[in-house]
Every structure is written in C-alpha cells, then in structure tokens.
Amino acid sequence: MPKLIVVLGDQLSPALSSLQHLQPEDVILLAEVAEEACYVKHHKHKIILLFSAMRHFAAVLKQQGMSVYYLQYGNVNNMTSAVSAALQQHPSLEQVVITQCGEYRLQQEIDQWSQHFSLPVQVLDDDRFICTLSRFSQWASGKKQLRMEYFYREMRRYTGLLMQNDQPEGGKWNYDADNRKACPSDMQQIAPLTFSADDITEQVKMLVLKHFPDNMGEVDNFCYAVTGKDARLAFMHFVEQQLPRFGDYQDAMLLDQPFLFHSICSVYLNCGLLDVRWMCNKVAAAYHSGAVPLNAAEGFIRQLIGWREYVRGLYWLLMPGYATENYLQATRELPAFYWHGKTRMRCMQQAISSTIEHAYSHHIHRLMITGNFALLAGLSVKQLTDWYLAVYADAYEWVELPNTLGMALFADGGVMASKPYAASGAYINRMSNYCQHCHYKVKDTTGDAACPFNALYWHFLHRNEQQLAANPRLALAYANWRRRSEADQNAILAKAEHTLIHLEQL
C-alpha cells in the first residue's frame, strides 16, 4: 500500500521508525505550519533551527532518491491541512504513517486523521527513546512514588552502559554528590562549537524576521548546527573539550559564562539530529579510554538514559491531567523581565539574558534561578510552563512540562520531586559569583537592598504551610522558621509582601 509518511519538525532522524521500510512509491511530507510555529511564541532561534534543519533533512532525503513533499511556511495552517494538501497532490497514496509525536496536543489532532481522511493511519512507536511507553507504565504500575533513581538503575542494567557485569562501574550507581562543586571565579568556560549560516539558513532567517519579528531573540547571532553531521561534530567537541569538567561543575554558575561546560546538545537531540544511544556510547568510550572521569560520564549518561527517559514516560502516563495541576495554587502574573531580562537581580538577569541570546540556558539556571524565583513568588504555572516551552530551543512539551510543572514548581504535589526545589540567596551565592556583582545584598533578608530570594523563601514556606509542613524533608526549614521571633517573622513577611506587589521593579 503506497503511504504518506509524515515527519514532524522534531523527528529529523534518518532512523525514525516511520522512515523504515520505505517503498519507491511512498511520499514523505514535511511542512512548516503556522499552528506549530505559533502555539506559543517560540524564540526566533528555535524556529530558525527547526525550519532550516527540516529543509536540510528534506534535501538529503531527495538526494537519496526519495519522493518528498515539502511545504514551506505560508502555505498551510496546520498539520491536518498539510496532510490534506499532500494527499490531494498524490491521490495514489492509500495510507498515512507517522511516528508518535512529542506533544499530547498534536497527537490528539493526529488521532483524528483516519476519520478525517477515511484512510488507515498508522502511529508507530518512537524508538529513538530507549524505554518504550508500555515498558514505562509497567515499571510505574502499582508504585506509590515514581523516583527517577530506581528507573535509572533499570535503564543502566538494560543498556549495559557503565556496567561491569551486573554491577555499576566504580561501585556506585550515582555520583550526583560529585556533581555539585562551585567554580573558581577565574575559571574560563569552554564554549560549544558554533556554525555559520549557509544559504538555506540565511533564507530561513529572512523568513523568521518577516513573520516573527516580535518573538524573543535576534536572527543575526543564530549559530546552531542544522544537520546531523554538524550536530555530531558539536557533540564530539563537547566530549573532548567540555565533558572532562562537566561532572564537577554541573551545578555551578559564573558571571557572563552561560555555557560553562554544558553541551547544549539537548537542542540537537530533542529534534532528532542526534541519537541518544550514539551519544551515550561516545561518552562511555571516553570514560573507558581514561579521557573523562567517572563522575562526568555517569552524570551525563544519567541525564540521558535516566532523567530524559523518565520525564517522557511520566508525561505520557499523566497527560492530559498533568498540564492543569497546580498544587500550590500559583497564579501570579509573570513579570515582564522574564521576556526582556532587565532586572537588578544579577542571577535572573544572567539566566534570562542567556535565554534571550541563545534560546538556551543550562539546567541550574532553569531549575534554581528562573524556576526557583517563580516557585518562591508563586508565579502562574501556566504562564511559566508556556514561557519555558517558547523560549528554549530544546523545549517540546513532553520534556518541558514535567521539568517545569513537576520539578521546578512542585505543581504536581510531589510526583516527581520529594520536596520543592526552593532555595534562598545563600544557595545561589554558594554555587555562583553572581551575588558579588548584584545590586542586592545576599546576606540581608529585610531592608531595601535585601536579596529578594531571602524573604520570598520564608514567605513561600509560610504561605504553603498546609501543603508542605508535613514533608519530612522540609522539617528543618520549618523548624528554622518557627525559631524566629514573631517580630522577625512579621518583618520578613511584610518585606516579601512588598516585593510581591512590586515584582516589576526588581
């Protein structure tokens, strides 16, 4: 049966399940469509990356002799119309095939296709992930708590990565405790490999400038890889140059060094330009050759086969209800500085300016700076999850939602995290040199110049006492709060209230 194979913008992998068993009469559809480009206000770099990578991917398929139907931006509104146009153009096609997509929203649209087009529609498993969704739900079934660590151990056993027979390399499963060093201030980051734009990317940059002029970011400094070949070069640069220090400094932050030793390869992995098994094998080989220490190799592999697979499994297990969870009833308006980065809080300015410049910030910026601030200030879960989905080049809902709603905002009430990742300025001061370059005083909790994170931290604990006080992992924090005099508590709460009313002025 001749088939229409639909390949989405984050499915740019030659080994994609839908592209196996291709027959000469099959047609492959790729489409730049308004609904995908506009369902949140994506960063310009994210749109350039995807459109340019889609065009490059289509060009390779064509060179290999395949029949490709490519719709450039402006022709159709959504994926359903794109399929309709392709079927009209190729009336001999009798079936639609697609690999399962990464967002519940779009999967629902796809699930209508067979009725809409009166054709069989085959949705294939996305085997670019190591853990199938059915395997994940088997693992999750009957468990009270779905802790990543136990899932990760299963994935280590299953893949054999960093295993010696049935034992973990080095005797421990997890070297997280060796991933939390602060950086000396004079340390220099090793930046990721960058790429200059070819003609295809230049054309896409013009398109984005024309159709998305008000979206975050500038087109001129776009420098991501847009082909699998270049993405692999970028990754090998990471393995050789950055990875040896990635382990120690995974959680560290330094002024004006937005990448430190992070790979940024999630941008490539999540749209399909890199393959997770290939990446893990390269990292394991670098460890076995003695080029990188175990805490770096294990820390990296944990993110990929542990954390990443775990959040995807959770997403599909818990959707659609997960998207509307709001355990702490956080509804405050997102301050405008999330969009323009102009704030006197140095840590927030650094995390947001990296976001604006590169459509990227690393995980500690996301979790402990912009995420932590939103948690403490009770910012709207919906607005913040939409923000993360829009501004990061690696963000699709399957990965973004659990990380933001569950991990950063504790809005799922503890499905993912055993306690909220709430921290005062002291944590940020320990892990960065930002506070030395800040308008605010990190040691102060009240007073005009006090670090806003401090009073907000206590306000957060106080206002959520009902939901959180019984959590044993917060017992010490609550004991510290209760030890303070009533006058102290009132002064701190008043300071926090004032801060919350004047968030825009921070």
Provide the binding-site residues for ligand SF4, judged by CB under 6 A: 345-347, 425, 428-429, 434-435, 438, 440, 442, 451-453
CB of 269 to ligand DLZ, least distance (A): 13
Q: How far is CA 339 from CA 146, 351, 386, 402, 405, in A?
A: 34, 11, 12, 22, 19
Q: Which does 453 bind (CB under 5 to 8 A by kind): ligand DLZ, ligand SF4, none?
A: ligand SF4
User: Which of helix, strand or coil describes residue 95?
Assistant: strand
Interacting residues of 433 by C-beta distance below 8 A, sequence separation 6+: 183, 185, 253, 254, 255
One symbol per residue from 82 to 101: x for binding ligand DLZ (CB under 6 A), - otherwise; what is it?
-------------------x
Question: Could you say which of ligand SF4, ligand DLZ, none residue 438 binds, taking C-beta under 5 to 8 angstroms by partner kind?
Answer: ligand SF4
Binding segment for ligand DLZ (CB under 6 A), chosen from 25-33, 87-95, 135-143, 275-283, is 25-33
* Minimum distance from residue 397 beta carbon to ligand DLZ (Å): 7
Q: Which does 337 bind (CB under 5 to 8 A by kind): ligand SF4, ligand DLZ, none?
A: none
The residue (of 42 and 459) whose beta carbon lies closer to ligand DLZ is 42
Nearer to ligand SF4, 83 or 352 (CB): 352
- Cβ atoms < 10 Å from Cβ of 214: 6
Min separation Cβ 383 and ligand SF4, Å: 21
Residue 287, contacted partner among ligand DLZ, ligand SF4, none, CB below 5-8 A by kind = none
102 binds, among ligand DLZ, ligand SF4, none (CB under 5 to 8 A by kind): ligand DLZ
H or E segment at 124?
Answer: strand 121-124
Cα dihedral angle (390, 394, 397, 400), rounded to 10 degrees?
A: -90
Torsion from C-alpha of 87, 88, 94, 95, nearest 10 degrees? 20
| Residue 47 is a binding residue for ligand DLZ (CB under 6 A) | yes
Q: Which of 4, 12, 29, 50 binds ligand DLZ (CB under 6 A)?
A: 50
Express the helix, strand and coil content of the chain in percent, nearest 5 each: 55, 5, 40
Within 362-402, residue ranges assigned H as helices are 363-364, 372-377, 381-391, 397-401
Nearest to 313 by CA among 127, 135, 142, 144: 135
Q: How far is the CB of 452 from ligand SF4 (least distance, A)?
A: 6
Q: How far is the CB of 436 from ligand SF4 (least distance, A)?
A: 8
CA 446 to CA 450: how far, in whole Å?
A: 5
Using the minimum distance from each CB to ligand SF4, give the nearer residue, 147 or 340: 340
Secondary structure class of 332 (helix, strand, coil): strand
Q: How many residues line the site for ligand DLZ (CB under 6 A)?
A: 16
Under the binding rule (CB under 6 A), the answer on residue 49 touching ligand DLZ is no
CB-nearer residue toward ligand DLZ: 395 or 409: 395
What the block records as the tokens of 375 is 């948690």
106 makes contact with ligand DLZ (CB under 6 A): yes
- Give the footprint of ligand DLZ on residues 368-407 (CB under 6 A): 396
For 329, phi and psi rounded to 5 degrees?
50, 50
Q: Which of 3, 5, 10, 275 binds ligand DLZ (CB under 6 A)?
A: 10
Q: Which two tokens stand for residue 176?
A: 């997280």
Q: For ligand SF4, which is the closer residue by CB, 197 or 352?
A: 352
Closer CB to ligand SF4, 80 or 445, in the complex:
445
Residue among 267, 207, 231, 308 nearest 14 (CA) = 231
Ramachandran bin of 160, using left for φ above 0, alpha for ψ from -120 to 50, beta for the remaining angles: left
Binding site for ligand DLZ (CB under 6 A): 8-10, 31-33, 36-37, 42, 47, 50, 101-103, 106, 396
